[in-house]
A = this chain, B = another copy of it.
Amino acid sequence: MLFRQLFDKESSTYTYLIASGRGREALIIDPVKEQTDAYLGLIEQLDLKLVRAIDTHTHADHITALGDLREHTDCMTLMGEFTKAECVSDHVREGDTVDVDGVRLKALYTPGHTDESFSFVLDGAGQREDAVFTGDVLLIRGSGRTDFQGGDPYKSYDSIVNKLFTLGDETLVYPAHDYKGFTASSIAEERRHNPRLAGKSAEEYAAIMNNLDLPDPKLMDVAVPANLACGR
């Protein structure tokens, strides 16, 4: 399997380019507009045909490349069924699978950071560990804020504890952001060592999340409306 984790330093965003091999169809998860040329260059060098550009949710801290990638590659753009981004051409519901030329993702509805966030589970097919792309709901030793865009700490807790943490221990966790120098984790690690969640009740988690006192993302007033138009 061809798996490339890419990093946008400006927004600390991780983007994932995946295909079953060189010369095959590919998908990309959580691409950043400013990196579009880098993605297109890599896609060409790896002889890939991009057919799906996926956002886990409507990002508030960077502008999506979904629209630009569609413009350049004729790929379909894909989000969860509850997105308000009317420009998106394809929608998934809980339990749907996305099949791209030998790569299989399963969609999980994981609200909490936003009310329309999905996670995507990659089937390693025995060739590599399974992996889950958690967007901003579950971060490495952290979790995405729950104070805007329909965020809700109780929904976040439920999504993480009752849905993501039921995946296999060795499932690798690939979030949309990291600020501390981690690139991946595993479900077992987060279940045991995520300081906001390990041994915490939903009420304790909600108290933590409701007291984060974070400033609004710098780009929020620009990024959210832009992303509702797929970044175009």
Contacts and interface: CB of A to CB of B under 8 A. Distances in A.
Instruction: Tell me what chain A mostly uses at the interface: helix, strand, loop, or mixed.
Output: mixed
Interface string A193-220: 1000000000000000000000000000
B46 A183 contact: no
B181 A4 contact: no
Interface residues of A, number: 21
A18 to B, nearest CB: 13
Count copies of this chain in the complex.
2
B183 A45 contact: no
A180 B46 contact: no
A72 interface: no
A180 to B, nearest CB: 7
B183 A4 contact: yes
A208 to B, nearest CB: 19
A6 B46 contact: no
A-B interface, 10 closest residue pairs, ranked by CB to CB distance from nearest: A7-B181, A5-B183, A45-B193, A6-B181, A8-B181, A183-B183, A9-B181, A7-B183, A128-B128, A6-B182
